[in-house]
């Protein structure tokens, strides 16, 4: 083979490689799913790909986020979180990924960031992890609090609605529907009352700081939070674009949040459920904007029936969905995840909230 032939073949090969490369589809931007709508956590997009040993300006804000939701202990007194991706942060990321049902990569992959930026419930995820043989399930609050057996008729009152633009009659309808979804599966009745004194559960809309140490953060970010039994407080961020009637998926607003979807979730907390790792469950911590999610799935039903038993009229959830992940044997096989000392320190703070 002559030198010119070799050269020619090399050129041909390069042309083929070049054609192959140009024929490839464009690489999609995985974070394009995160719209550039202002929200308290949007800057997390800047940490895409960040991994162990790196320093990224502002990473401390993500540590604060993980601290808020129970994954990372507070920094020692008189110090702040650093911007370094250290081993403690990696452990927190892995724990977050496990709790949110994500791939446990241990670094800030795009799916993890996309999930972190999503609007969500303000109740921390790590309270008292409940797992069955490594399968992810519903959880309960620390100590498994629930309404006593003598209490099967709960009264709720709308006590702070002036910060909402939705009329009270519409709000009443939305919350009645949300409560009825839980009443259908457990032997518990929910009735609205106008008497705050009689109410077991109180519901209100608030802006920013509102007296319980858990300030709301404006549009998106944290949407709402509720307290475990038998506290009964259920607070919603008044600055959200709440949709109480009509189809949220058809809303003209990019930041529309379906009120009933959030109400069904928060009522789960009022009954004693923590967050689930099952993405389709009502008790999963995040909710996508302009999305309606109001149907209890098997994981939610198993969790709440394990606390209160079944409504005799309940005929089951269809389709079966995550039935394969159920622990039908009750709590006997449930392994309680033990919290490390660091997380336990966080809980000293959280105990105040619950
Ligand atoms: Zn929640
Ligand atoms: Zn509150």
**Which ligand minimizes its atom distance to the CA of 160?**
2
Residue 25, pLDDT score: 60
**Which ligand minimizes its atom distance to the CA of 269?**
1
Q: How far is the CA of 277 from the centre of ligand 1 (A)?
A: 11
Q: Is 225 annotated as a binding residue?
A: yes
Residue (of 271, 268, 239, 272) closest to 255 by Cα position: 239
**Which ligand minimizes its atom distance to the CA of 119?**
1
Q: Maximum CA pair distance of the chain?
A: 98
Q: Which residues of the chain have pLDDT under 70?
A: 1-30, 127-136, 319-354
pTM recorded for the entire structure: 0.81
Residue 230, pLDDT score: 96
Any catalytic annotation for residue 114? Answer: no
Q: Which of 266, 295, 325, 333 is catalytic?
A: 266
Residue 128, pLDDT score: 54
Residue 126, pLDDT score: 86
Residue 29, pLDDT score: 60
Q: How far is the CA of 124 from the centre of ligand 1 (A)?
A: 7
Query: How far, in Å, CA of 282 to CA of 75, rounded?
Result: 32
Residue 26, pLDDT score: 59
For residue 319, say if its preceding peptide bond is cis, omega within 30 degrees of 0. yes
CA 208 to mean position of chain CA atoms: 20
Q: How far is the CA of 189 from the centre of ligand 2 (A)?
A: 24
E-strand stretches of 162-294: 189-192, 201-206, 224-226, 233-237, 241-243, 256-258
Q: Is the separation of the CB atoms in 154 and 180 below 8 Å? A: no
Q: Is 275 annotated as a binding residue?
A: yes
Q: Which residues surround ligand 2, an ion (CB under 5 A)?
A: 212, 214, 235
Query: How far, in Å, CA of 12 to CA of 8, rounded?
Result: 6
Q: Is 212 annotated as a binding residue?
A: yes
Return the structure tokens found at 305.
């029936």
Q: How far is the CA of 136 from the centre of ligand 1 (A)?
A: 16
Residue 321, pLDDT score: 45
Q: Is the separation of the CB atoms in 83 and 60 below 8 Å? A: yes
Q: Which residue ranges form the domains of the chain, and what is each CATH number?
A: 33-117 (1.10.101.10), 153-353 (3.40.390.10)
């Amino acid at each position: 083979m002559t030198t010119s032939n070799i050269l020619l073949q090399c050129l041909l090969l390069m042309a083929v490689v070049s054609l192959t490369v140009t024929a490839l589809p464009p690489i999609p931007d995985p974070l394009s799913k995160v719209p550039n709508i202002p929200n308290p956590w949007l800057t997390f997009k800047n940490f895409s790909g960040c991994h162990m040993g790196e320093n990224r300006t502002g990473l401390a804000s993500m540590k604060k986020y993980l601290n808020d939701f129970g994954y990372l202990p507070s920094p020692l007194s008189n110090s702040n979180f650093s911007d370094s991706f250290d081993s403690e942060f990696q452990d927190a990321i892995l724990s977050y990924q496990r709790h949110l049902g994500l791939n446990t990569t241990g670094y800030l992959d795009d799916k993890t960031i996309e999930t972190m930026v999503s609007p969500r419930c303000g109740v921390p995820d790590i309270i008292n992890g409940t797992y069955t043989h490594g399968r992810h399930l519903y959880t309960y609050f620390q100590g498994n609090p629930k309404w006593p057996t003598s209490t099967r008729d709960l009264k709720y009152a709308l006590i702070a609605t002036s910060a909402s633009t939705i009329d009270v009659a519409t709000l009443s309808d939305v919350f009645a529907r949300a409560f009825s979804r839980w009443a259908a599966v457990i032997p518990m009745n929910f009735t609205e009352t106008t008497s705050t004194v009689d109410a077991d559960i109180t519901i209100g809309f608030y802006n920013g700081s509102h007296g319980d140490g858990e300030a709301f953060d404006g549009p998106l970010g944290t949407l709402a939070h509720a307290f475990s039994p038998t506290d009964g407080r259920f607070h919603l961020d008044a600055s959200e674009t709440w949709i109480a009637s009509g189809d949220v998926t058809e809303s003209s607003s990019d930041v529309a949040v379906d009120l009933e979807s959030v109400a069904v979730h928060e009522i789960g907390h009022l009954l004693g459920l923590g967050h689930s790792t099952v993405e389709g469950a009502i008790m999963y911590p995040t909710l996508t904007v302009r999305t309606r999610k109001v149907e209890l799935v098997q994981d939610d039903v198993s969790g709440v029936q394990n606390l209160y038993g079944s409504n005799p009229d309940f005929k089951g959830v269809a389709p079966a969905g995550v039935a394969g992940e159920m622990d039908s044997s009750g709590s006997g096989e449930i392994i309680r995840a033990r919290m490390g000392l660091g997380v336990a320190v966080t809980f000293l703070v959280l105990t105040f909230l619950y």
